[in-house]
Amino acid sequence: MRSQIFFKCYMSILKKLASETALYGISSIVGRVLTYLLVPLHTHIIYGFKPSEFGILTVLYAYVAFLNIIYTYGMETSFFRFANLDKTNQDKIYQQIQTQIIITTSFFTLIFLFSADFLNSYFKYGINGSLYIRFLALILFFDTIVALPFAYLRLQQKAKRFAFIKIVNIFLTVFLNLFFLLICPILKKNGFNAIDFIYHPRFSIGYVFLANLISSFVTIFFLLDILIKKYKISWQWQTLQPILNYGYPLLFMGLAGTVNSMLDKILLERWLPDNFYENQTQLDAVGIYGAAIKMGVLMTLAVQAFKYAAEPFFFGQSQDKNAPQLFAKVMLYFVMVCAVMWVGVCVNLPLITYLFLSNPKYHQALSLVPMMLLSNLILGIYFNLTIWFKLTDKTYYGTYIATFGAFCTLLSNLLLIPLIGYWACVFTTFLTYLLMTMLCEYYGKRFFPVPYNWNKIILYLIVGGFFIFINQFFSFQNVYLNFVVGNMIWITYTIILLTNEKVKMKLF
């Protein structure tokens, strides 16, 4: 009887996590899918950017990923931790952290605004490069100011409002991209010269940054109640000190983690030998590589959506005596969902490429996609494992592990990029995430043991890889036949997983 009651409670908790993940996933998936639809526009033969321009776009947003970590320096996770420890003073904790973020964000932004010309003279991103940098500085400012209000919504489990604001932001970004990069050129071509006051063809990728800036600014108005009504200036060192002590290891962990996910693009530009790929500059290579890995966006979406829902969920359930068993089941179901996505994207890659990356200039690196998808799946597993050092206040372990991963990323890319080009980036990402996952699990067993079913997890991934490998042998000239056979393989794999978990999958 007790076991039945426990099982029902257990399923109820997991259903709640699944529903919240779905809501966060809707905002991420709808947003990323809409953004993904911009890839054909950005790479279009007529209206799109040259590979070198797309390379600049890719590299600059890689730098932004590093700066996002510096601007927030672990304060979102710190907020979840301390707000859950002292639930009666959540608003005061929010005010303290937000005051700190406003001060530091303003300081960083002013530095980049005034040093934009110097930075562009070093990086050499063209006549508009200084303006690109200033746009990105303002984007970082607005996005950081709303980071904690978004975390506040997650803490209050207001997933619907969170999703709505995120979707509005993305819809606006996509609309502005379409307006500046498609509608304006058409109007200009047809003699509508009134458009000249906002459209200049030479500004090129600058319109991508401008669209992002406008949408980031507009997002502030949807969060004014939290930004203004919930906020007042607060500065108490005794309150802030333990928060910073908890958060600073997360800063270094985040930086190291971003090295693992973004440094490859920067190093590919700087470290690829001249003429490694025929008739391609280094920026051309970065653009082609950046476009290829966007084909694996669904896995990134799954990990991001899960992260939004799971972090407050893990903290909320941490005091339950059955938390380790619960976390183990969450891991298993997460891997199953991601493995199904992995196989699905790989068998449908020709169709996805045909629909979203029609420009043949960008097809040279598509063979990297399956391994990049698997790497992101392993990153999701790693994120599940990191909960042990967040719950035990041993975040410095996360710093050590991520720093080790960053060292592996740097060393491997420096050694292999001159030898194998794009493949160095993907192989390094896979190897780094795998080593980090193994280290995190090893130390997690000592401080917060969780009975993860590694046998099933590894088996499901091996079987998925086998089905992807089998699909490579079924290549027909008929596109529709390829589609049917590939999806039959995908459905077979999905059925195998669901059948093996037939009792437990009643959750869904």
3-state DSSP percent of the chain in helix, strand and coil, to 5: 85, 0, 15
Domain residues for the domain of 59 are 7-507
Are 375 and 430 contacting, i.e. CB atoms less than 8 angstroms apart?
yes
Residue 162, in any domain of the structure = yes
Give the per-residue pLDDT at 184: 87
Domain-embedded: residue 108:
yes
Tokens, residue 91: 């608003």
Residue 143: what pLDDT?
A: 93
Asked if the structure places residue 140 within a domain, the reply is yes
Instruction: Count Cα atoms within 13 angstroms, Cβ side, for 189.
Output: 8
Query: Is residue 207 a part of any domain in this protein?
Result: yes
Tens digits of residue pLDDT in 88-125: 677 788 888 888 889 999 999 999 999 999 998 888 77
Give the Cα separation of 304 and 299 in Å (integer).
9
Neighbours of 488 (CB within 10 A): 13
At 329, list the tokens.
Answer: 């089941």
For residue 296, the model assigns a pLDDT of 74
At a CB cut-off of 8 Å and minimum separation 6, what does 506 contact?
11
DSSP secondary structure string for all residues of 419-481: HHTHHHHHHHHHHHHHHHHHHHHHHHHHHS-----HHHHHHHHHHHHHHHHHHTT---S-HHH
Number of domains in the chain: 1
Among the listed residues 64, 214, 231, the one whose alpha carbon sits nearest the alpha carbon of residue 142: 214
Q: Which residues contact 411 (CB under 8 A, 6 or more apart)?
A: none
Instruction: Number of helices (H) and strands (E) in the chain: give both, helices first.
Output: 23, 0
Return the amino acid letter for 313.
F
At 36, the amino acid letter reads: Y
CA distance 433 to 32: 23
What parts of the chain have a pLDDT lower than 50? Answer: 3, 5-7, 10, 503-508
* Residue 139 pLDDT: 95
**Percent over 70 (pLDDT), the chain:** 84
Separation in Å, CA 317 to CA 91, 391, 490: 21, 10, 34
The reply to whether 2 falls in a domain is no
User: Please, which residues have CB within 8 angstroms of residue 344's CB and are 6 or more apart in sequence?
Assistant: 298, 490
Give SS3 for 281.
Answer: coil
Beta strands of 79-231 (E only): which ranges?
none
In a domain, 1, yes or no: no
